[in-house]
Amino acid sequence: MELPALIETNLPVLVVIVPLFGGLLSLFTRRTGSWAWAALVAMATFALAVLLLDRVRASEHGVIEYFLGGWPAEYGIGYRVDILNAYIILVVALIGAIVTFYARHSVNDEIPDDRHHFFYSVWLLAIAGLLGIPATGDTFNIYVLLEISSLTVYTLVAMGHHRNRRALTASLKYLILGSIGATFILLGIGYLLMLTGTLNMADMHDQLMKMKELGTLDENRTLLVAFALLMVGLSLKMALFPLHTWLPNAYTYAPSAVTAFIAATATKVGVYMAFRFIFTIFGGVYETSATGLNMLVLTICACIGIIVSSIAAIRQDNVKRILAYSSVGQLAYIVLGFSLVNQTGITASVIHIFNHAIIKGGMFMAMGCVALRMGGVTLDHVAGLGRKMPVTMAAFTIGGLGLIGVPMTSGFISKWYLVNAAIQEGLWWVAGVVLLGGMLALIYVWRVVEIIYFRAPTSDAPAREAPLGMLIPTWLLIGASIYFGINADFTASIAATAAELLMQGMN
Amino acid sequence: MDSLGYYNYWLTIAIIMIGFYGVIAKRNLVKQIIALGLFQTGVFLFYVSMGVFRKDGEDGQPPIWSPLTDENGRTVIDQAGYAVKELGVHDNPLPHVLMLTAIVVSVSTLAVAAAIVVNIKRRYQTIEEDEILAIEHSEAAGVTDPAGADPKGQIEGQTEGQTKSRIHIEDATEPEAED
């Protein structure tokens, strides 16, 4: 379709600029106008993301390059969008738009009216930061956008203090740990700048390959330190065991809409950054294979993370906390996928990014409905809700089935690819850990489902079903998880193409 | 003894490690935030040290254009009437520019952290990490969400305006008489 030239030529950067300025302008809105403006901007951003994916698929090499200010690659900041980037941008923009529509009732309830314009302003800035990270092709720009998204998310999490003051300490802990992680990433980028003299990711890769041919990379300690620092920083952002400790508190005490949004997007974008650094920049430089030391550390940390987080989830009494520990485990699946360094593994990672985003987003939104009607989300609050809020609880249960990996849900597709990838590498114990994680997920999901449906309610207070404005977004995501569980063509084909592109850098 | 000439990098390591130690070991939240800023400052020094140019006794000058002068000391003018500029052996300005951005990021982080700590002081009446943890553990004995069990009631404990710097943990969970 024909677009105005302004939009067509600037598409990669528009997905960042529209929510950025939308967030700034949101400061001038008041009360219900704040939500309406945020919803409008989020819809516009989603439309731009869809257009971007369409343009990328239609372009000749499957890549759109855009240079800010017209400055060419060596001097300027380049935005480079290929199929993987466009896919992640689509996921983030989709979740952003859906949760913004969901946020109306939830935010009205949990945050004072005079704070709404601030809240939605920071909300849109978070969307802008999280969309910029997949769009950019410049390492320092990725650091800046990472900090934009992180700072806004710290603020959003701290907004939960109107309900529970622990949101403040949770946010501060997240801030300190997150800043340390981002500073490690900055140090790693500094070492890479020292080695290659450039900040553009594609250019960095070329320089490193040239140096490798010249032999200057053998036993090069600068490169090793760069890789180590980057991996530590990224592991913290991806919430990989043992650097995941900020996640449970931050997810539990944040406002419901915020949790639904960041659970689905913030850590996934961290995984995307890991893809870029490991496969695009370092790809082919180190002899990385699944049993090489670099990746084996990731594999082991991911496996331990799956088991430890699932066991921790079983013991919790707050349903949001259960879902938070479950998120740590699911993220460990994603990391496990790409640490196997074969095409099926990376496909599994990319598919699970999408699947987990929609499942967890849907489940946290269901819990937000419960918080709205019941005032809390502990097991006492959800007891017996299967009868009073059947639609919401059905969404939660189906999402739970997706976490376990029951066939016909999207979680099954991801686990299928993951186990295949593990068997391809000959690492049978990894496949065993994946299945064990599924069984542990069964325990903690079914514990909650049993209490929802088969236990008497703790209070006789009547509970109505959640408002339609919250139910529709929840069911949109859960319905998507069922649809993409039955018909995974779209997600699987894009993931396979993305995996192929990433593996190309390895050779 | 070449490594002695790299004193910039030794200083970087020292600053980063001192900052990191402060974040981990200090109990006061404000000290942790200051240490976090120190941690990031070490990285600035690292980048700026990276940009310095040294070659065979020629030291890099600040990267500033200066007018080209001929033998008589007059400025050389080109055909369009502009002075011709030259740039001698100079340091790389790119790391400096990157660190300007990183300093802004660091200050923004400090601002958000300070806002959160101000609110923590208002709600917990303390900014010592061990006291805050003690408060949270003692009220978690019932493991119920305070907002659900008694919204803004007993668990919040102290009324606004009380500014005790040390709290007796037993008092923190007692309901206020006036609530």
Contact: A140, B98; criterion CB under 8 Å: yes
Rounded mean pLDDT of A140-160?
95
C-alpha distances in Å from residue A383, one per residue of A305, A387, A388, B77, B164? 29, 10, 10, 85, 40
d(CA A156, CA A47): 24
Is some CB atom of chain A closer than 8 A to the CB atom of B146? yes
DSSP B82: P
- Collect all residues with Cβ–Cβ distance below 8 Å to A493 and sequence separation of at least 6: none
Q: Give the pLDDT of residue B3.
A: 65
CA atoms within 13 A on the CB side of A255: 28
d(CA A338, CA A387): 42
- Structure token digits, residue B76: 């050389």
Summarize pLDDT for A306-349 with one digit per residue, the tens: 999 999 999 888 999 999 999 999 999 999 998 888 888 899 99
pLDDT over 90 percentage in chain A: 53
Q: Give the pLDDT of residue A461.
A: 72
Chain B from 27 to 66: CB within 8 A of any A CB: 29, 32-33, 36, 39-40, 43, 46-47, 50
Q: Tell how strand B66-67 and strand B58-59 pair up.
A: unpaired
Is some CB atom of chain B closer than 8 A to the CB atom of A183? yes
Q: At residue B83, does pLDDT exceed 90?
A: no
Question: Taking Cα atoms as reference points, which of A227, A26, A19, A8 lies closest to residue A117?
Answer: A26
pLDDT over 70 percentage in chain A: 97
Summarize pLDDT for B32-74 with one digit per residue, the tens: 999 999 999 999 999 999 888 877 777 778 888 887 777 777 7
d(CA A1, CA B17): 56
Of B46, B112, B136, the CB nearest to A190: B46
How far does the CA of residue A306 sit from the closest CA of chain B (Å)? 25
Contact: B50, A154; criterion CB under 8 Å: no
Structure-model confidence comparison of residues A355 and A426, the more confident one: A355
Q: Give the pLDDT of residue A389.
A: 87
Summarize pLDDT for A250-262 with one digit per residue, the tens: 999 999 999 999 9
C-alpha distances in Å from residue A482, one per residue of A359, A364, A395, A485, A488? 9, 17, 11, 5, 10
Of A169, A176, A194, the CB nearest to B132: A169
Query: Given pLDDT bands bounded at 50, 70 and 90, which one contains residue B149?
Result: very low
Would residue B73 be called left, alpha or beta, if left means φ above 0 and alpha means ψ between -120 and 50 degrees? left
Q: At residue B94, does pLDDT exceed 80?
A: yes
How far does the CA of residue A380 sit from the closest CA of chain B (Å)? 9
Q: Which of A21-25, A373-377, B65-69 has the highest mean pLDDT?
A: A21-25
- Collect all residues with Cβ–Cβ distance below 8 Å to A235 and sequence separation of at least 6: A181, A243, A301
ipTM of the modeled complex: 0.90
A contacts of B172 (beta carbons < 8 Å): none
How far does the CA of residue B151 sit from the closest CA of chain A (Å)? 8
Q: At residue B157, does pLDDT exceed 50?
A: no
Question: Taking Cα atoms as reference points, which of A299, A274, A301 lies closest to residue A289?
Answer: A299
Is some CB atom of chain B closer than 8 A to the CB atom of A205? no
B contacts of A376 (beta carbons < 8 Å): 144-145, 147-149
Q: Give the pLDDT of residue B175.
A: 41
Contact: A176, B136; criterion CB under 8 Å: no
Contact: B108, A374; criterion CB under 8 Å: no
C-alpha distances in Å from residue A336, one per residue of A131, A355, A373, B44, B66? 24, 15, 38, 34, 56
Is some CB atom of chain A closer than 8 A to the CB atom of B97? no
B124 in Cβ contact with B135 (< 8 Å) = yes
Contact: A318, B145; criterion CB under 8 Å: yes
Summarize pLDDT for A100-123 with one digit per residue, the tens: 999 998 888 888 888 899 999 999
Summarize pLDDT for B103-141 with one digit per residue, the tens: 999 999 999 999 999 999 999 998 898 988 898 888 875
Q: Give the pLDDT of residue A143.
A: 95
Q: At residue A463, does pLDDT exceed 90?
A: no
Is some CB atom of chain A closer than 8 A to the CB atom of B131? no
Q: Give the pLDDT of residue A419.
A: 92
Q: Give the pLDDT of residue A491.
A: 86
Contact: A151, B29; criterion CB under 8 Å: no
d(CA A129, CA A109): 26
Using only C-alpha atoms, what is the Rg of chain A? 22
Is some CB atom of chain B closer than 8 A to the CB atom of A367? no
How far does the CA of residue B6 sit from the closest CA of chain A (Å)? 15
Q: At residue B166, does pLDDT exceed 70?
A: no
Of B112, B132, B149, the CB nearest to A155: B112
Q: Which of A120-124, A467-471, B139-143, B165-169 has the lowest mean pLDDT?
A: B165-169
Question: Taking Cα atoms as reference points, which of A332, A335, A341 lies closest to residue A310?
Answer: A332
d(CA A358, CA A91): 9
Q: At residue A126, does pLDDT exceed 50?
A: yes
The whole-chain average pLDDT of chain A stands at 89
Q: Give the pLDDT of residue A150.
A: 95
Q: Give the pLDDT of residue A502.
A: 84
Q: Give the pLDDT of residue B143.
A: 43
Q: Which of A29-43, A72-86, B103-117, B161-175 has the lowest mean pLDDT?
A: B161-175
Query: Given pLDDT bands bounded at 50, 70 and 90, which one contains residue B147?
Result: very low
Chain A residue with CA closest to B132: the answer is A169
Chain B residue with CA closest to A174: the answer is B113
Is some CB atom of chain B closer than 8 A to the CB atom of A147? yes
Q: At residue B152, does pLDDT exceed 60?
A: no
Q: Which of A40-49, A407-416, B73-82 has the lowest mean pLDDT?
A: B73-82
d(CA A167, CA A170): 5
Is some CB atom of chain A closer than 8 A to the CB atom of B93? no
Q: At residue A480, does pLDDT exceed 80?
A: yes
Query: Given pLDDT bands bounded at 50, 70 and 90, which one contains residue A289?
Result: low
Contact: A172, B120; criterion CB under 8 Å: yes
Is some CB atom of chain B closer than 8 A to the CB atom of A318? yes
Is some CB atom of chain B closer than 8 A to the CB atom of A176? yes
With H, G, I as helix, E, B as strand and everything else as coil, classify residue A220. coil
Q: Give the pLDDT of residue B17.
A: 96
Is some CB atom of chain A closer than 8 A to the CB atom of B101? yes
Q: Which of A205-219, B4-18, B31-45, B162-176 has the lowest mean pLDDT?
A: B162-176
Q: Give the pLDDT of residue B67.
A: 78
Q: At residue B169, does pLDDT exceed 60?
A: no
pTM of the model: 0.89
Is some CB atom of chain B closer than 8 A to the CB atom of A195? no
A contacts of B29 (beta carbons < 8 Å): 172
Q: Give the pLDDT of residue B154.
A: 37
Summarize pLDDT for A159-195 with one digit per residue, the tens: 999 888 899 999 999 999 999 999 999 999 999 999 8
A contacts of B117 (beta carbons < 8 Å): 172
Structure-model confidence comparison of residues A486 and A183, the more confident one: A183
Contact: A176, B95; criterion CB under 8 Å: no
Mutate to test the interface with A, among B105, B110, B127 (most CBs of A within 10 A): B105
Contact: A168, B120; criterion CB under 8 Å: yes
